[in-house]
A and B are shown apart, each in its own frame.
Chain A
Amino acid sequence: MLLDINASVGHWPFQHYNYNTCLSLLDRMNKYGVDISVISNLNGVFYKNTQSANEELFSEISSDTRFKDRFIAFGIINPIYAGWRDDLSVCSSKFGFRGVRLYPLYHDYELIDPLCIELVRAARDAGMVVAFTLRIVDSRPRSWMDIQKEWALKDIIPIIRAVPDAKFMILNVANSTELTDDEAALIMNSDVLLDTSGRAISNLGELLKKFGNNKFAFGTHSPVLDYVSGRLRIESLRASEADEATRELIRSGNARRVLGI
Chain B
Amino acid sequence: MSVLDVDAVSIHFGGVKALQNVSLEVGEWEIVGIIGPNGAGKTTLFNCITGFYRPTRGKVRYRGRNVSRLDVHKRAALGIGRTFQNVGLVKGATVLENLRTAQHLETEYNPWFGIAGGLNSFIEEGRITRRGRQLLALLGLSDVADTTVADLPYGMLKRVEIATVLATDPDLLLLDEPGSGMGPEEAHGLGETLLALRKQFGTSIVMIDHHVPLVTQVSDYVYCFNFGEVLAEGAPEHVRNHPEVARAYLGEEPVEGGGAEADAGTESGTAGTLPVVREEEYA
Q: Does B bind A?
A: no
Residues of B within 8 A of A (CB): none
